[in-house]
Structure 1
Amino acid sequence: MSKGGLFDKDVSLFRSETSVRSSVRPRRVMTFDAILEEVGALGPFQVVLVVLMASSRLVLPCNFLLNNFVAAVPPHRCKVGRWNASAGDDDDDDPTTACEMLAETPSPLAGNRSEATPTTVQCLHGWVYDNSTFSSTIATEWDLVCERKHLSQTINIIFFLGVMLGSLVFGLLSDNYGRRGSLLLSYALSLALGLASARADSYATFAALRFVCGSALAGISLVSVTLCVEWVTSPHRAFMCVIGSLSWSLGNMLLAGLAFLFNDWRPLVVAVTAPLALAVLTWRWVPESARWLLANAQVEKAHVYLNKCARANKRPKLASKDKLEALCSAERSNKSQKLTLLHLFKTPELRKISLVSGIAWYGTAVTYYGISLNLGGFGLNVYLTQFVYAAIEIPAKLLIYLLIDRVGRRPCLVGTLVLTGTCVGVNIFVPKDMWQLRSAVAILGKGLSEASFTTIFLYTSELYPTVLRQSGLGFTNVLSRVGVSAAPLVLFLEEAWSVLPQVVLCAGALTCGLLALLLPETAHRRLPETIRDVETPARCSKGHEEIPLETKNTT
């Protein structure tokens, strides 16, 4: 047989085998990212969404760091009693301290006051406060000083315990009932509770209101980020998350300005809550996540929002819902199974992601707030320190924006956490009289800690599937708030050893940063839609634009 005849026979056999394989090839459907590209993956629609989220996200840092100002303890000393005044003593000459004063009754063994045995007692008539920096705080109004001084910082712990609870509640609400409705609920509750806390007439009432207000604010923190991420494709997630988070830094700087203008704690609480009124008014233009709607088989609503996106981005509308029907058909068949927090730990890859990312969130939060809550000790007033700490976050975010797609999510998270820990560690060995150098290192560490926070928000939203994304973010936020609640307690360790807080923060940042090496990289990969996508990473790999319909399953 000629070589040509043999070759022809091989070609014929190859074509025959290819035809057989094609006939049994499973039917495929487009991914949501491919549909989103049709209507515009990044355009005016997404930019408007970021702007709509800005007014509410400005409020978050103002409330999360509010305790630096409303619970500040200014310099104080005991108020002089009547016995001292009748003796002709001047208040300024009275030998009192912040927590003790001379006993008003002379020793019975002494014949006159000059021969009396000096004895001291705790302040009997209250305190005199230095009002040059703060005209009023909860510490001065309810005398949270001396043996009650820890109560002023306890408010911070109570607030973040509320945030912890809200992270779980709003994570579940958002995954089961939608992003948009959960966002409105968090707006309304945060506004009402924030204004109510400004009128609190006792410490207990204020603490209770701050707890529930923290729970409501957690919803804004979670849902706003998720909405932004779910309306773009892989190449644009960094823009939506990192650039969108600049509102946090602007809110941080706004807090410094508002605290300077309103140095009475009640007007300050009202001022940092007021922007939520604008958020409530603009909520009507906030779109529901079409990605979530399709994951929950709500094709009609998803079609409406996708066409709104197309119109805003000047793209052709989706004339047919066939693609959307095909995309969510598998989810519809499994919708009877209700997903819970337990599903975060039922499969190996999700279990590893939940545990490691949770630890990384804890380390990021305790370091960030450990630095942010320490505004004293650098030779600057608290307003200027707050402003500088906030301003350094902007170049840190822009640097992350430039690196996060080029270098990857995991290296950025590991690198920023390790460098933050290094900065904290360096300050252990810098003498306190070199406050300029200590301030520079602390400010650099603050910027790096914010960079790690920005990275982990985006990173975590990409690690979890759509069907569990808010629950996953809620769980990791709980561990984050454990870290935030622990930050004031870490600062209390200074009473045992002056550098112990820095040692703890340094060790925590380094350990959590290295553990983050166990997480998978998510850069340039499409968002996972189902649990199976997470357990089979190749399904979300770059260029994998189609999913076999027969194998698509939420579990």
Structure 2
Amino acid sequence: MAFQDLLDQVGGLGRFQILQMLLLCISSLITYPHILLENFTAAVPGHQCWVHILNNNTDSANATGTLSPDALLRISIPLDSNLRPEKCRRFSRPQWQLLNLNRTFPNITDLDTESCVDGWVYDQSIFTSTIVTEWDLVCESQSLKSMAKFLFMAGMLVGSIVYGHLSDRWLAESARWLIITNRPEEGLKELKKAAHRNGRKNAGDALTMEVLRSAMQEELEAAQIKSSVFDLFRTPNLRKRICLLSFVRFANFMSFFGLILHLQYMGSNVFLFQVLFGAVNLPANCVAFWALNHLGRQVSQTLFLFLLGISILAITFVPQEMQTLRMAVSALGIAVSSVTLMCSFAHGNELTPTVLRVTASGFLGIASNIGAALAPLLMILTVYSPHLPWIIYGVCSILGGLVVPLLPETRNKPLPDSIQEVEKERKDSRKAKPEGTFMKVTQF
């Protein structure tokens, strides 16, 4: 763990590190809103079948103006099981006899109905135009809306793979990673840069290649062996970690994007939900910081993944009429989902060796984006049951919580630099160690 000593000399958290974090925040601020736009560009407004007698203002049948819009609606559109106008069916011909029934609702199953062969009429009071109204992605075509969201998220998956090597060149490389990957000259340059920006010029000037090689002799010898993505699965301990981390990240992202991409399911006011969900993210990150520091990585992820699953299942069975309760439970779900994401990122980085940490992050990112892409695709299952996709989101979160305890705790433990150190941990974990004998490297 000689690198930690070098990092302490140049400054572990100073202006240099803060600048890098700010640059990352700017890139996130640019990207994230594009994902949330799907809640507005793909919103489904109220709609019903277009009916000639109801929606054609020049129709002679109502030229006298004796029939109100409600009366015309009654003879044109059948009612569903909730006594609301059907969205996908209309009467084959006007049912004039329904005008004389006052408030009673007869059995209309014998009346001829048909699909919306002439198109739909949309409520434009909130959304004047969306992809749903432009392309009529309702009724039999409603699954195409989920496909549109899926293609957007799949584009993120492809982009993360194709452009991953290009997107991080405007940020400083990790000095630790440069040294471990047999690029000590570049690593030394980055350490000196960090020291100068952190106001420790003397410490930076004192760093030489001889000092670096002396401090990290073991790591530099290991760096002579070239590594690849296949090394993630060559050894049993690392392979187990990657597989378990991939499932946890997959389940977490699928549940998270299942929530944030379907705000309209939570309630009619998507604008209020968007503001609320954005507001809960800041305190959620503070909770994540506290939990990681006091509860540890295992307990934090397990606890909040369970809470996430329970929250999603609760949303599923809370009636639409109870908007306040649905809003509260939904906000809780978004908050705990953000906490689990923070915990998962920290845990994943601390479980993978430095020599493969970038590669592992890329692989876990693929698993994450697959979960994010599947989140909207699962909404196609609503044709069988409106609750089915949400049950899957909730169950996957709970399963992820059950998997986390199979991963080792990393709080207050040194970061592994090589695959050998990861495999050695399995043997060392069988031997009891006195409290406080390890280096506090991953403590926040």
Partner of 1:36: 7
Q: Structure 2: where are the runs of 5+ without partners? A: 78-85, 95-109, 440-444
The structure-2 alpha-carbon separation of the partners of 1:539 and 1:488, relative to structure 1 and needing over 3 Å to count, comes to same
Partner of 2:80: none
Tell me if 1:397 matches 2:285.
yes
DSSP 3-state at the match of 2:293: coil
Indicate which of 297, 307, 312 corresponds to 1:409.
297
Separation in 2 of the partners of 1:374 and 1:359? 23
Kept after mapping to 2: 8 A contact 1:67/1:155: no
Partner of 1:497: 385
Q: Deviations over 1:379-402 (max 9, x none)?
A: 550010111122112212111111
Q: Deviations over 1:50-106 (max 9, x none)?
A: 11211111133312333211111212234455996554458953625644455699x
Q: Deviations over 1:215-236 (max 9, x none)?
A: xxxxxxxxxxxxxxxxxxxxxx
Indicate which of 3, 20, 27 corresponds to 1:49.
20
Tell me if 1:313 matches 2:198.
yes
Indicate which of 97, 117, 142 corresponds to 2:135.
142
The Cα of 1:127 is off from its aligned counterpart by 3.3
Kept after mapping to 2: 8 A contact 1:293/1:299: yes
The structure-2 alpha-carbon separation of the partners of 1:136 and 1:432, relative to structure 1 and needing over 3 Å to count, comes to closer
| Residue identity opposite 1:297 in structure 2 | N
Q: Deviations over 1:117-136 (max 9, x none)?
A: 98554444443322222222
Separation in 1 of the partners of 2:319 and 2:142? 28
The Cα of 1:403 is off from its aligned counterpart by 2.1
Kept after mapping to 1: 8 A contact 2:353/2:417: yes
The Cα of 1:436 is off from its aligned counterpart by 2.1
The Cα of 1:330 is off from its aligned counterpart by 5.3
Query: Could you tell which deviates more after superposition, 409-418 or 421-430?
Result: 421-430
- Residues 295-310 of structure 1 correspond to what in structure 2 (within 5 A)? 295-310=180-195
Separation in 2 of the partners of 1:147 and 1:324? 66
The structure-2 alpha-carbon separation of the partners of 1:396 and 1:77, relative to structure 1 and needing over 3 Å to count, comes to same
Tell me if 1:527 matches 2:415.
yes
Separation in 1 of the partners of 2:233 and 2:337? 28
Partner of 1:344: 232
Q: Deviations over 1:254-296 (max 9, x none)?
A: xxxxxxxxxxxxxxxxxxxxxxxxxxxxx4xx32221221122
Tell me if 1:74 matches 2:74.
no
- Residues 166-315 of structure 1 correspond to what in structure 2 (within 5 A)? 166-169=159-162, 173=165, 181-184=166-169, 283=170, 286-315=171-200
Q: Structure 1: where are the runs of 5+ without partners? A: 1-29, 106-116, 174-180, 185-282, 546-555
The structure-2 alpha-carbon separation of the partners of 1:401 and 1:530, relative to structure 1 and needing over 3 Å to count, comes to same
Q: Deviations over 1:146-196 (max 9, x none)?
A: 32222122122122223333444556x4xxxxxxx5425xxxxxxxxxxxx
DSSP 3-state at the match of 1:395: helix
The Cα of 1:519 is off from its aligned counterpart by 0.4
DSSP 3-state at the match of 2:45: coil
The structure-2 alpha-carbon separation of the partners of 1:445 and 1:473, relative to structure 1 and needing over 3 Å to count, comes to same
The Cα of 1:297 is off from its aligned counterpart by 2.2
The structure-2 alpha-carbon separation of the partners of 1:373 and 1:405, relative to structure 1 and needing over 3 Å to count, comes to same
DSSP 3-state at the match of 1:392: helix
Separation in 2 of the partners of 1:34 and 1:539? 23
Kept after mapping to 1: 8 A contact 2:146/2:380: no
Q: Deviations over 1:386-437 (max 9, x none)?
A: 1112211221211111121222111111111012222233445544443322
Tell me if 1:465 matches 2:436.
no
The structure-2 alpha-carbon separation of the partners of 1:164 and 1:146, relative to structure 1 and needing over 3 Å to count, comes to same
The structure-2 alpha-carbon separation of the partners of 1:349 and 1:313, relative to structure 1 and needing over 3 Å to count, comes to same
| Residue identity opposite 1:353 in structure 2 | R
Kept after mapping to 1: 8 A contact 2:39/2:264: no
Separation in 2 of the partners of 1:473 and 1:89? 66
Tell me if 1:133 matches 2:118.
no
Separation in 2 of the partners of 1:306 and 1:136? 53
Kept after mapping to 2: 8 A contact 1:306/1:318: no
The structure-2 alpha-carbon separation of the partners of 1:339 and 1:170, relative to structure 1 and needing over 3 Å to count, comes to farther
Cα RMSD of the aligned pairs, angstroms, is 3.2
Partner of 1:484: 372
Separation in 2 of the partners of 1:429 and 1:54? 36
Relative to the length of structure 1, the TM-score reads 0.64
Separation in 1 of the partners of 2:220 and 2:210? 15
Partner of 1:195: none
| Residue identity opposite 2:287 in structure 1 | L
Partner of 2:156: 163
Separation in 1 of the partners of 2:153 and 2:276? 24
The Cα of 1:337 is off from its aligned counterpart by 4.6
Separation in 1 of the partners of 2:189 and 2:227? 26
The Cα of 1:336 is off from its aligned counterpart by 6.3
| Residue identity opposite 2:195 in structure 1 | A
The Cα of 1:453 is off from its aligned counterpart by 1.0
The Cα of 1:145 is off from its aligned counterpart by 2.5
Kept after mapping to 2: 8 A contact 1:396/1:448: yes
Q: Deviations over 1:449-494 (max 9, x none)?
A: 1111111011111111122112212222222222222322444434
Kept after mapping to 1: 8 A contact 2:305/2:337: yes
DSSP 3-state at the match of 2:264: coil
Partner of 1:508: 396
| Residue identity opposite 2:350 in structure 1 | E
Partner of 2:274: 386
Separation in 2 of the partners of 1:98 and 1:434? 22
- Residues 61-100 of structure 1 correspond to what in structure 2 (within 5 A)? 61-80=32-51, 85-89=58-62, 93=72, 95=76, 98-100=87-89
Separation in 2 of the partners of 1:499 and 1:509? 16
Kept after mapping to 1: 8 A contact 2:301/2:343: yes
Tell me if 1:419 matches 2:404.
no
The structure-2 alpha-carbon separation of the partners of 1:379 and 1:424, relative to structure 1 and needing over 3 Å to count, comes to closer
Separation in 2 of the partners of 1:102 and 1:70? 31
| Residue identity opposite 1:443 in structure 2 | A
The Cα of 1:527 is off from its aligned counterpart by 2.1
| Residue identity opposite 1:410 in structure 2 | Q
